[in-house]
């Protein structure tokens, strides 16, 4: 059911905002409905361990994100499958990615070159990329390859200034050739406190705030308008299932939330692809 480029990066320069949890559980939910590949672009290997908990180091070192980017392994030889998701695991060697980029700037476009190859595009309906909290080059490389970004935010890590800075980074990536056309804000670890209700109201005003930024400041003009997704609830099972490398249980609060998120992403990507197809036909 391949519909075109649906390469989705989960990103936020802040750590501890559930990027990996989102990438993992969203991949598993999408994997029940479509062909999915999840890519771990973080040397900490948290997403990799979410799928392959307890595996020896040799499992990660033979074929991984870095060997793929270095053209040392083919895409087919790099993927490993679990929970109906093809996974490209990370490795500690990704700590050298910034040095590789410093020596050869074309490394930033390697992910885009690989993932937008016609054989990969037709193989998957969705490719999900998990990025580190610290690691601007890894995040930039992922964004350059992507047409969708999901930005998880939590109440204790929420900051308009941080988002403004990241929005500028995204705008720069579009200038440099990213096909980014959809941007989503995902409230994560959400509870029912008054503080969280107030912050959720602030998030709802973010699209209007970005319009004002576009009018009054340079560096935002190419960005798609953000959409606010339904919150992912704060839940011990969500956290623990991720830590122990297990899918969420059927009919649990977390599973229902991520299944709804998957449905929303499928809907939004379908609209995006139809719009792109219509635009191409009109040329």
- What CATH number has the domain bearing residue 201? 3.40.50.300
- Whether residue 76 contacts residue 51, with contact meaning beta carbons closer than 8 Å, is answered with no
Say what the pLDDT of residue 1 is: 43
Q: Is residue 78 in a domain?
A: yes
Say what the pLDDT of residue 273 is: 86
Q: Is residue 1 in a domain?
A: no
Range of the domain at 208: 7-282
For residue 265, give the 3-state DSSP assignment. helix
Q: Is residue 105 in a domain?
A: yes
Q: Is residue 132 in a domain?
A: yes
Q: Is the pTM of this model over 0.85?
A: yes
Say what the pLDDT of residue 157 is: 63
Q: Is residue 144 in a domain?
A: yes
CA-CA distance, 137 to 253, in Å (whole number)?
A: 35
- Whether residue 213 contacts residue 165, with contact meaning beta carbons closer than 8 Å, is answered with no
Say what the pLDDT of residue 282 is: 61
Task: Take residue 44 and report the two structure tokens written for it.
Answer: 């900490």
Say what the pLDDT of residue 237 is: 84
Residues (pLDDT < 50) of the chain are 1-2
Q: Is residue 137 in a domain?
A: yes
Residue 269 to residues 4, 265, 279, Cα–Cα distance (Å): 9, 6, 15
For residue 151, give the 3-state DSSP assignment. strand
- State the total domains in the chain: 1
Q: Cα–Cα–Cα angle for 109, 116, 175, nearest 5°?
A: 45
Task: Take residue 27 and report the two structure tokens written for it.
Answer: 């991949």
Q: Is residue 2 in a domain?
A: no
Q: Is residue 104 in a domain?
A: yes
Closest among 200, 116, 186, 113 to 153, alpha carbons compared? 186
Say what the pLDDT of residue 2 is: 46
Query: In whole numbers, what is the pLDDT of the chain averaged over residues?
Result: 91
- Neighbour tally for 1: CB within 10 Å: 7
């Amino acid at each position: 059911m391949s519909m075109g480029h649906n390469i989705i990066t989960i990103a936020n320069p802040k750590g501890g905002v559930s990027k990996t949890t989102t990438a993992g559980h969203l991949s598993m939910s999408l994997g029940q409905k479509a062909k999915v590949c999840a890519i771990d672009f973080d040397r900490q290997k948290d997403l990799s361990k979410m799928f392959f908990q307890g595996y020896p180091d040799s499992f990660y070192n033979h074929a991984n994100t870095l060997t793929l980017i270095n053209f040392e392994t083919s895409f087919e030889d790099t993927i490993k499958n679990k929970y109906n998701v093809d996974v490209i695991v990370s490795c500690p060697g990704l700590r050298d990615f910034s040095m590789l980029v410093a020596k050869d700037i074309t490394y930033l476009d390697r992910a885009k070159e690989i993932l937008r190859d016609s054989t990969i595009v037709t193989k998957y309906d969705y490719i999900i990329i998990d990025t580190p909290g610290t690691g601007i080059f890894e995040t930039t490389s992922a964004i350059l390859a992507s047409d969708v970004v999901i930005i998880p935010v939590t109440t204790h890590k929420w900051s308009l200034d941080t988002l403004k800075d990241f929005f500028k980074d995204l705008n720069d990536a579009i200038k440099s050739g990213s096909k980014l056309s959809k941007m989503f804000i995902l409230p994560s670890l959400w509870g029912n406190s008054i503080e969280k209700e107030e912050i959720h109201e602030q998030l709802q005003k973010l699209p209007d705030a970005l319009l004002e930024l576009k009018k009054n400041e340079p560096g935002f003009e190419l960005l798609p308008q953000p959409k606010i997704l339904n919150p992912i609830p704060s839940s011990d099972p969500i956290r623990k299932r991720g830590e122990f490398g297990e899918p969420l249980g059927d009919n649990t609060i977390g599973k229902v939330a991520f299944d709804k998120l998957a449905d929303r992403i499928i809907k939004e990507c379908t609209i995006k692809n139809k719009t792109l197809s219509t635009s191409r036909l009109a040329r």
